[in-house]
């Protein structure tokens, strides 16, 4: 990823959604959450229907401990781009943390249909166990262990 300094230069020159989003993500990854929020909000002003920006805003909200707003951002991202596995997985995680187990299972299944990874299999298995569906969960744990 380019440095934050070079991203700021690109953003100043181009002032576009991609530059604002990337700068927001760089600040998020470096722990500068106020700066991340500023640039992610700027990206959403430039393009309110940008699925990636909503996903990153959800990550920011989650990092700040705001699970309900994070869930809304992830759900918005997933509704804007139903093929975006990260948004679906993150919507599942936030739903799980909010103890909305059936909602979490729905999102994990959707993520799994687009990205069959051990991480998604394990998350789905955990939610299924909490829903009292241990046999179904066991199959997903076994699938998570199989080499792809």
- Write out pLDDT tens, residues 17-46: 999 999 999 999 999 999 999 999 999 999
Q: Tell me the CA distances in angstroms from 63 to 34, 40, 66, 108, one per residue in order.
A: 12, 14, 7, 20
pLDDT of residue 1: 46
Residue 92 has which token pair?
């599942």
Residue 31 has which token pair?
């722990």
Within 13 Å and on the Cβ side, how many CA atoms surround 109? 10
| Helix or strand holding residue 73 (H, E) | helix 67-80
Residues of the chain with pLDDT under 50: 1-2
Residue 8 has which token pair?
């700021």
Structural domains of the chain ordered from first start: 17-144 (1.25.40.10)
pLDDT of residue 35: 96
């Amino acid at each position: 990823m380019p440095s934050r300094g070079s991203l700021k230069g690109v953003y100043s020159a181009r002032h576009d959604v991609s530059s604002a989003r990337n700068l927001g993500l760089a600040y998020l990854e470096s722990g500068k959450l106020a700066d991340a929020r500023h640039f992610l909000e700027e990206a959403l002003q430039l393009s309110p229907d940008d699925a990636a920006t909503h996903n990153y805003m959800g990550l920011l909200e989650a990092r700040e401990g705001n699970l309900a707003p994070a869930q809304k951002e992830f759900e918005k991202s997933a509704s804007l781009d139903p093929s975006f596995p990260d948004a679906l997985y993150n919507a599942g995680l936030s739903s799980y943390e909010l103890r909305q187990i059936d909602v979490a299972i729905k999102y994990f299944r959707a993520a799994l249909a687009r990205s069959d990874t051990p991480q998604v299999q394990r998350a789905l298995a955990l939610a299924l166990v909490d829903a009292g569906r241990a046999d179904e969960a066991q199959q997903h744990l076994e699938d998570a262990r199989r080499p792809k």
